Amino acid sequence: MPRVARDRDALSLRSPLADLAGIGPARARALGDAGLATALDLLLELPFRHEDRARFGRVADLVPGGPPVTVAGAIATSRLVRTRRRGFSIFEAELEDESGSIGLVFYNQPWLGRWMTPGARLFVHGRAVFKRRVVLESPWVEAEPSEEADIPLSVGRVVPIYRSLPGLAPRLRRRLVARCLEEAAPGLPERFPEALVRELCLPSLCDSLREAHFPGSAGGAADPRVWEERTSPHLRRLALEELLEFQVALGRRRRERAKRPAPRIEADAALRKKLGGILPFPLTGAQKQAIREIGADLRSGHPMARLLQGDVGSGKTIVAVLTALLAAERGFQSALLAPTAILAEQHAETVFRLLAGTGATPALLTARVTGRPRAALLAALAEGAIDLVVGTHALLEKPVVFRRLGLVVVDEQHRFGVAQRAALPARGAESGEHPHVLVLSATPIPRSLALALHGDLDVSTLDEKPPGRTPIRTRLAREDGRDEAYRALAKEVESGGRAYVVVPLVDESESIDARAVASWTDEVARRLPGRRVGALHGKMKPEARERAMRQFASGALDVLVATTVVEVGIDVPEASFLLVENAERFGLAQLHQLRGRIGRGARASTCVLLSGGGASEEAVSRLEVLARTDDGFAVAEEDLLRRGPGEAFGTRQSGLPEFRVADPLADRDLLGQARALASRLETGGNASAFEAPFLLPRARP
């Protein structure tokens, strides 16, 4: 690690950033607004990648397709080229060293002209390409440091690349981090017991942070690939500590929940027989097992917190309704919270049908229920006259009061904010007894990731489809196969089936080359003369959406052109054909959810995934996963491997912790190890060191 000239007094982990040379009051305030106040905060903002700038070269030696090289030189000429395309510009410069000159090309970066002027000396890092001549296209470029101490931090080594922070240029940031590592990092406490450090052969926390910022500075490999491939022992130590802190916090949450009182809800033999008698079909083995697990939770006297996950069509709603009916038989109310009005209405239809003749009273509460009907419904809830209410965010509003809330069911939890998820159970706890919570998810999650997404929940999995579901044939088509795909759709409709056509956009877009409902509905109608074609999307008024769905469900419409508003909760058993336009623009898990809208009846079903003309070969190969399997867990695993958990699930709304280092999918072995270590440390009384939000506070659940 290069030594950095000391300025002012020595730093500690708690030193304010304003104490560092180069950070004045204004910059310190801006960094504070971004969540950074101390030297430790700066150290824990790790690079998101590393760049190998150790390879120096001469301009004369650069060849197209060769490895990235760092070149030192001076700008000979520079100019900004305005193009006919609005808002698009090209900045060109000529870089010279003692061996020759090479062009530099940058797109939409006109500000470079302020300092890349003739005579300016630069370090440039990139790979040469051929664009009518050999050039460096969009290379990293940085002015040659004026301070000698900055040179070994910027070139001739593996260099950290950080996400931007307000007012911190990359070179200043590297200098500040280097000083914090030299002076403050040795004060980092070791939270692992010494015996465990030896047993697991863990490098020190200080050395691991040094390597995270500047690989090779603490005896590790000076190679960015060990960080990209996640094989560095220093990365694995940091990831393990982060996951362990998270698991300890989850353990504490589970223990706190176990201390709370909850209604004891039990079913005797007579009640079990009654519950089984309301179903027109037998339960699957997986459903029976889930009901047994839920029953044990309800009898415990402590709040249930269980995730019921299953593939599309696996019968999660049936299990939830039976649980709610059990609660009603024992005098408790239930609430089923859905993220959208359409999904709530679909659930209500199922609930009303199943509870007919049972003596239980269901209700539906959405924003559309207003005036006297709403007032009457709220009064009935408060009096305990409603046993099961299905609703949207309207259930979270303060006028909603329950007499004796015993069960909360949350469907598609990742579509609610963290505070929203907690609001309804907290409302029920006002009576002194905390309601049981059952979370439903139609997005199958590999168990390794479920430990991170829902680590404080017990997990029940429905991996069987109810009888009567027909296999779905899935095939891929390219742009030149569109006519054939629509001929197949027309043939299916002609023989009595109904079809969905799903497109990515509601309205046409100048920047996105993809189909839109607004225009494509007319195109589908043109391709299917004599057929009744309707549209459905999220911007329609609720009445219009409901009318379109009713018409499609009743057979008044043959084809429904829609966005992903039909992704979950739409149940039309007669729908037997799905055609997805621009399929490459959807995630695999999302396409699998869409595919679940067909095959819900006895009719053989077909799914056609039609990729656009601009789809890459990689995008098309990704779609082949759906043609190979209809196993939602296999599809979800592949989606996660290709896109990562944050993109596949939507990091903020999914509840996925914003880990700094750990990747729950790539580090699944560490996730299991952290869970075991948390239990071991709790048993030995050593877990308290990991409870304080110190090292990686954002990993806290």
| Residue 5 pLDDT | 46
pLDDT in tens, 572-601: 889 999 999 999 988 888 898 889 889 888
Banded model confidence at residue 254, pLDDT cuts 50, 70, 90: confident
- CA–chain centroid gap for 271, Å, is 41
**Looking at the predicted structure, is the pLDDT value of residue 534 above 70?**
yes
How far apart (Å, rounded) are the C-alpha atoms in residues 476 and 631? 17
What spatial distance separates the first Cα and last Cα of the chain, rounded to whole Å? 34
Tell me which of 51 and 507 has the higher pLDDT. 51
φ/ψ of residue 243, rounded to 5: -65, -35
Matching fold, domains 55-147 and 230-466+656-701:
no
Domain regions of the chain by residue span? 1-52+157-229, 55-147, 230-466+656-701, 472-629
Outline where 214-315 has alpha helix (H).
225-228, 233-258, 269-277, 285-299
How far apart (Å, rounded) are the C-alpha atoms in residues 497 and 577? 7
Q: Cα–Cα distances in Å, from 108 out to 88, 105, 118, 134?
A: 6, 10, 20, 20
Banded model confidence at residue 699, pLDDT cuts 50, 70, 90: very low
Element (H, E) at 517: helix 517-527
**Looking at the predicted structure, is the pLDDT value of residue 14 above 80?**
yes
State the CB neighbour count (10 A cutoff) for residue 529.
7
| Residue 150 pLDDT | 65
- CA–chain centroid gap for 278, Å, is 38
pLDDT, mean over the chain: 85
Strand spans (E) along 127-258: 128-130, 134-137, 140-143, 158-161
How far apart (Å, rounded) are the C-alpha atoms in residues 250 and 258? 12
Q: Lowest mean pLDDT of 496-505, 624-633, 685-694, name the range.
A: 685-694
How far apart (Å, rounded) are the C-alpha atoms in residues 122 and 95? 9
How is domain 230-466+656-701 classified at the CATH fold level?
A: Rossmann fold (3.40.50)
**Looking at the predicted structure, is the pLDDT value of residue 185 above 50?**
yes
| Residue 75 pLDDT | 95
Write a three-state SS string for 370-394.
Answer: CHHHHHHHHHHHHHCCCCEEEECHH
**Looking at the predicted structure, is the pLDDT value of residue 653 above 50?**
no
**Looking at the predicted structure, is the pLDDT value of residue 186 above 60?**
yes
Q: DSSP string of 567-597? A: SSS---TTEEEEEEETGGGS-HHHHHHHHTT
- Total H helices, total E strands in the chain: 24, 22
Task: Characterize the bridge pairing of strands 575-581 and 559-562.
Answer: unpaired
pLDDT in tens, 88-146: 889 999 999 999 999 999 998 888 988 899 999 988 999 999 988 899 999 988 887 76
Banded model confidence at residue 451, pLDDT cuts 50, 70, 90: low
How is domain 472-629 classified at the CATH fold level?
A: Rossmann fold (3.40.50)
For tokens 């000239």, the residue is: 5
| Residue 700 pLDDT | 37
Residues 6 or more apart whose Cβ sits within 8 Å of residue 250: 455, 456, 678, 701
Q: Cα–Cα distances in Å, from 567 out to 89, 536, 599, 646?
A: 40, 12, 14, 20
How is domain 55-147 classified at the CATH fold level?
A: OB fold (Dihydrolipoamide Acetyltransferase, E2P) (2.40.50)
**Is residue 105 within 8 Å of residue 90, measured between CB atoms?**
yes
Banded model confidence at residue 67, pLDDT cuts 50, 70, 90: confident
pLDDT in tens, 476-507: 999 889 999 999 999 999 999 999 999 988 77
| Residue 205 pLDDT | 92
| Residue 613 pLDDT | 77
**Looking at the predicted structure, is the pLDDT value of residue 651 above 70?**
no
* DSSP 8-state class, residue 399: T
Q: What is the CA radius of gyration of the chain?
A: 30
pLDDT in tens, 187-246: 888 888 888 999 999 999 999 999 999 999 988 888 899 999 899 999 999 999 998 988
pLDDT in tens, 394-407: 888 888 889 999 99
Over residues 624-638, the mean pLDDT reads 83
How far apart (Å, rounded) are the C-alpha atoms in residues 321 and 315? 10
For the chain, what percent of residues have pLDDT higher than 70? 87
For the chain, what percent of residues have pLDDT higher than 90? 38
